Structure 1
Amino acid sequence: MKRVLITGKNSYIGESFRKYVEANHREEIQIDVISVRGNAWKSRDFSVYDAVFHVAGKAHADVSHVSEAVKQEYYAVNRDLAVAVAQKYRSERNGFSQFIYMSSIIVYGHTHETIQETTPTNPSNFYGDSKLQAEISLRQMSNINFQILILRPPMIYGPMSKGNFPILVKMAKSFPIFPKIDNQRSMLFVDNLSEFICQIIAFRLHTNIYFPQNKEYVNTSCLVKTIRDSLNRRTLLLSGFTGIINCFVKQHNGFGIYADKAFGSVIYAKSLSSNSAVRLNGYQVVEFDESVRRSVL
């Protein structure tokens, strides 16, 4: 049995992973969870764990209205704390170990191109940069026994999720008429992410950057319709708004940022989301329509 420590108590992703393991992989994986606020975690024995899944972090900032002090908090939590936890784990653990760090697609900034293996990182704000700086520092710590696994998922959604998805659900519930937009987005259902993590632990994957995503790209208009279908509500999608919305998306202001989050296109190439051990179809435990239904009801 593998022992896994989740560092970051009450994290949505951490709690979702714990519940998923207890429901589906109880015989293979034992989960412990600790808080890394304050200093009490520093006295915890990390040597007994085969993997540490670090989910503590700060996210979802209104990046246009923050002080320099708040910006520094993002680096302190997203970068410095992650490095400190990894250093403690490496110093105490003997033998093969995995440190799994939750990064984000945000490290690529507001790109509208298909993200390939050669796509350069280009964070557009301090949140994305804090994640990227953590990645750089952590990967330098890797050695033959201490493996650093960086996860760069797209938008994660699921029951009681946070961030942009519940905003979209609220909007979908309110508007039976919605523009028909031609866009594509990579997304990831939280149970599919949890199964991906279980597999990278089971297969003892090594230091690398990983890009889990649902096997299908998502169109915002179709997503809104799927949300409403799950609520047994009819939806009318109207054509003719693509040009107008694209103009909004290209604006370099707060409204443009929100329009881009809702209607812009950002996808990972499917080839990024498979490797010799964990293939794209291998961790898709919940199909898209069912994942939306579970996330809304």
Structure 2
Amino acid sequence: MLYLITGAKGYVGSKVKEIFLKNNKNIEEINFDLSENSNFTKVYDEEFIVVHIAGEKSNNKSKLIKNNIVATSNVVNNLVLQGNCRGIVYISSIAVFGLQDKIITEKSPYNYDNYYGFSKFICEKIIIETLTHKNYYILRPTNIYSDHKNNLIGILSDKIKTGEEFEVWTSSLETKRDYIHLEKVAEIIYKASIKINKNKIQENINVAEGISYSLKEIIKNLEEKYNKKLNQKIINNNKYRSHDLVVDNKVLIDDLDY
């Protein structure tokens, strides 16, 4: 089986690629501009699965349309609909649900509160409505973290180690969020890719730890880990209180043995 991986050079994709290679799987990286329909010229004469990780995460509407909506439409129409394609594992986001007062499950209503969440919602709709006779997993990770400085926990770790000042809003200290480590997300993507090769699957799954932490708790845990205090600049905005992000992961546990 051949696995086509988009975004294999990115933050998540590079870790997923590493796992595939470690397990001696046959992969091909798709590194061209997915928003350009004319770039899709290859027809595969062997069975394959698409692992679509590439995407845009920003506040730029034009980039979100181009790199999420148009790109995913092109991937589906030019790759997944080929006769030898077994299906697709698509990496969406928990942002399709926005922030809700209740625990988020796979049956929660879509309630995106930014254009990024909306773009991922449209991508999900494209997959669900187009691939009625194909296999698919739609995976929705929560906040992905690692030691890399492109995420909150990575930034906090670096600030604690270097002693640099970190600006903290008082409202953020108590707000709870669900976080999941990059390596766990990559393993889940790999498991889904292998499983979709062997079974008839059309599933949407929230990828979460099922435990939420406040910023205060995260800072405390990191300070204990590094035995150093975070140099905090506290900004009082107690009038603002965001919703907690609490995500149920029972389906993830049952379906992908998390």
* TM-score interval, smaller chain: 0.7 to 0.9
User: 1:132-211, aligned counterparts within 5 Å?
Assistant: 132-144=121-133, 146-160=134-148, 162-170=150-158, 172-173=160-161, 174=164, 181-204=173-196, 206-211=201-206
Q: Residue 15 of structure 2 aligns with which residue?
A: 16
User: 1:250-265, aligned counterparts within 5 Å?
Assistant: 260=242, 265=244
**How far off is 1:47 after superposition?**
4.8
Cα 1:77/1:135, change in 2 over 3 Å: same
Cα 1:71/1:236, change in 2 over 3 Å: closer
Alignment-mate amino acid for residue 273 of structure 1: L
**How far off is 1:235 after superposition?**
6.6
Q: Residue 77 of structure 2 aligns with which residue?
A: 87
Deviations 1:251-288 (A, max 9, x none): xxxxxxxxx4xxx520111324333x4133xxxxxxxx
Secondary structure of 2:131 counterpart: coil
Query: 2:147, 2:154 within 8 Å by CA — same for their partners in 1?
Result: no
Tell me, in whole angstroms, the C-alpha distance in 2 between the residues paired with 1:213 and 1:33: 27
Secondary structure of 1:218 counterpart: strand
**What's the C-alpha RMSD, in Å, of the aligned pairs?**
3.1
Structure number with higher strand proportion: 2
Secondary structure of 1:211 counterpart: strand
TM-score, with structure 2 as normaliser: 0.81
Query: 1:8, 1:36 within 8 Å by CA — same for their partners in 2?
Result: no
Cα 1:79/1:219, change in 2 over 3 Å: same
**How far off is 1:39 after superposition?**
5.9
2:253 alignment partner, one of 274, 290, 293: 274
**How far off is 1:76 after superposition?**
2.2
Alignment-mate amino acid for residue 133 of structure 1: I
Cα 1:20/1:105, change in 2 over 3 Å: same
Total equivalences in the alignment: 247
Tell me, in whole angstroms, the C-alpha distance in 2 between the residues paired with 1:138 and 1:117: 16
Unaligned runs of 5+ in 1: 62-69, 250-259, 281-297
Over the matched positions of the two proteins, sequence identity in percent amounts to: 20
Query: 2:106, 2:206 within 8 Å by CA — same for their partners in 1?
Result: no
**In the alignment, structure 1 residue 118 sits paired with structure 2 residue 107:** yes
Tell me, in whole angstroms, the C-alpha distance in 1 between the residues paired with 2:31 and 2:7: 5
Q: Residue 57 of structure 1 aligns with which residue?
A: 55
Unaligned runs of 5+ in 2: none
Query: 2:212, 2:245 within 8 Å by CA — same for their partners in 1?
Result: no
Query: 2:103, 2:246 within 8 Å by CA — same for their partners in 1?
Result: yes
Alignment-mate amino acid for residue 209 of structure 1: N
